Structure 1
Amino acid sequence: MDRLTFRKASEQDLDTVIRMLADDVLGQQRERYETPLPDCYREAFQAIHTDPNNELVVACVRGEVVGVIQLTFTPYLTYQGGWRATIEGVRTSSTTRGQGIGTKLIEWGIQRAKDRGCHLVQLTTDKKREDALRFYEQLGFTASHEGMKLKL
């Protein structure tokens, strides 16, 4: 594989990012990949882009976006006022899956969390994503907590 590079996502990347988010069974149920994209995606991008504790980063090969990761940095009173990084929305292009890009995205995210002084990196994945669960475990993540959600 050619050299993988990482950069902050731009609004011009949004179409590709949303296409990747919608390109699986669960994503098809919750995303709206349409042309033009619904305004809600641009509004969310602007909120992420202007928040110093959020980073939307794309992985590129020869300038082509092939992966995405979102990092959110949160201060906590626990762990003596420690910071945590939350990894969300990790996807790779369907044409490049199985080439190690997902691993490189997570490794990059972990290093970025260290660079920001975080003591912990956390993520969630849908229990239906058995391959993703195995993938994250292979990278050293443990299912140490039971996560819960309430849809509003």
Structure 2
Amino acid sequence: MQKSYSQITGRKNVYTAYYSFNAVFQRRLSYAQLPTANFTASPISGCSPLVVNFQDLSTGSPNAWSWSFGNGSTSTLQNPTTTYFTPGTYTVRLTVTNVNGSNTLTRTGYITVFEPPSVNFQLLILQDVFRCVHNSPTCLLRVQAIQMSSGSGALVTGPLHL
């Protein structure tokens, strides 16, 4: 009688017993688990400069990490941070290592960096109502305040919500 295991996780001792004429033979099998690289990042897209925090989600008890962020920066920290200054898409690679070996995960085009926002808006004056229309397609634009002349030389200042 034989028992086989299709998937075993962790360090296990597997005994295979063969029964024949009331005799039992045992064989001890050991195996070592390799690490499996996995990670997430936040945010994965945004305007330049984009600060991205990476989180290691690897299994198999890794004890060393080697990151390549695609922007010329590398790290050996478990949970690093990097900044992307140039617009484009970036491939991120993580290699994890434990006493039994290593494993690499590459995510192609994982990070997307957009151009910094440019201020492009129109101020429409309809009767006594001012309406501001902005056209910044790739990144959110938050206007803190607007300052304008009312025609009489007085300046009107205040927050503007788009």
TM-score (norm 1): 0.23
**Structure number having the greater helix percentage:** 1
**Structure number having the greater strand percentage:** 2
TM-score (norm 2): 0.22
Q: Which has the higher contact order (CA 8 A, sep 6+)?
A: 1
Query: If you compute each CA radius of gyration, which structure gives the higher value, 1 or 2?
Result: 2
